[in-house]
Amino acid sequence: MMSFEDVILLSNRRYAETRDTMANTLLPFEERNLTPEQVELLDRRRRRGQLFLVLCFQCLIIGTLVTLWSGQDWTLSPGWTKPMVYWNAILFTLSLIFGIVGVRLKRGSDEFLSY
């Protein structure tokens, strides 16, 4: 039977073995030894990337909904005055730009994957 001191020594030895191992092994190697300031900058970059992805999908949804009016404007407007066509083309271009920038900024693994 183990004495109380043996139990404490055994628990201290287990603590010493697990103390040096990393808690979250899902992090990439380059993010494992960051300072708190660097982690804050990394989180800011990822939040900004999430913002750009939201803007991308909003522009994409509105552009898709406006495509009907854009097609009508293309066929019925005289000459080069087709404002809905130009607006829709700008909207889809912005959606593409926001998507590319958002994916580049949000790269890496988040602590919480829900946002």
Tell me the domain boundaries of the chain.
34-105
Cα separation, 7 vs 49, in Å, equals 49
Cα separation, 89 vs 83, in Å, equals 10
pTM score > 0.95 for this model? no
**Per-residue pLDDT tens digits for 15-60:** 555 555 666 666 777 777 888 898 888 889 889 999 999 999 999 9
